[in-house]
Amino acid sequence: MTAPIRVILAEDHTIVREGLRALLSAREDIDVIAEVGNGRAAVEAVATQSPDVIVMDLGMPELNGVDATRLIRERHPTTQVLILSMHSSEEYVRPAIRAGAAGYLVKGSGLGDLVAAIQALSRGQAFFSPAIAKILLQESQRPEGGREAPGDGLTNRERQVLKLVAEGKSSPEIAELLSLSVKTVEGHRSRIMAKLDARNVAGMVRHAIKLGLVSTDE
């Protein structure tokens, strides 16, 4: 018999996580070996458990799903990351794929899709919800000369956050200025860094200057 696929569930909502575990544990070909409620715990669980696939939510405390995915893929390339998120817009999808996710399902997908995705990733294949596949197809068909320049993909809110980061504001300060939660600001920062391929605040500042959001005199 083929060994069951070893899976870790990373989801901060307990009721969702327990529901996923109950559904998947009923199958003989999938073994849910651990479940965690934040991104940092997800990275640690992969290091100790060596799963075949980790099912990852994007909006998690301590370390968001994009950053957790990037760390997992850098440190444990044999573990495949399947994003399971309520978000299906390009601003969420592209950073996740760039971070190394091999699959992306929107919450609300059926159990059959989830199982098929886990099976596909365990074989080294990709799996995407139809809406996600459409986004990726559109990007792949974009003419080389028409590729978005760094910053073109930023939303207005992300530009606001980038400007404030470049001005030296902390996440709590930005949250207060924009009437957002600190968690939301951290999510914006992570997506901005992924879109700009910036590894630190200095890189974000350089892009903010190039985009004209701040001047070198500020």
Q: Across the chain, what does the average pLDDT equal?
A: 86
Q: Is 212 buried (19+), middle (13-18) or exposed (0-12) by CB count in 10 A?
A: exposed
Return d(Cα 115, Cα 20) in angstroms, integer. Answer: 11
Single pTM value for the model: 0.66
Q: Which two tokens stand for residue 82?
A: 């399947």
With CA atoms as reference, report the closest residue to 81 among 111, 61, 105.
Answer: 105
pLDDT tens digits along 55-67: 999 988 888 898 8
pLDDT tens digits along 89-116: 877 888 888 888 999 999 888 899 999 9
pLDDT tens digits along 113-135: 999 999 999 998 889 888 787 77
> CA-based angle 134:137:140, to the nearest 5?
155
pLDDT value of position 5:
96
What percent of the chain shows pLDDT beyond 70? 90
Domains of the chain: 5-141 (3.40.50.2300), 156-210 (1.10.10.10)
The DSSP code sequence of 75-86 is H-TTSEEEEEES
Return d(Cα 192, Cα 3) in angstroms, integer. Answer: 40
**Residue 31 pLDDT > 90, yes or no?**
yes
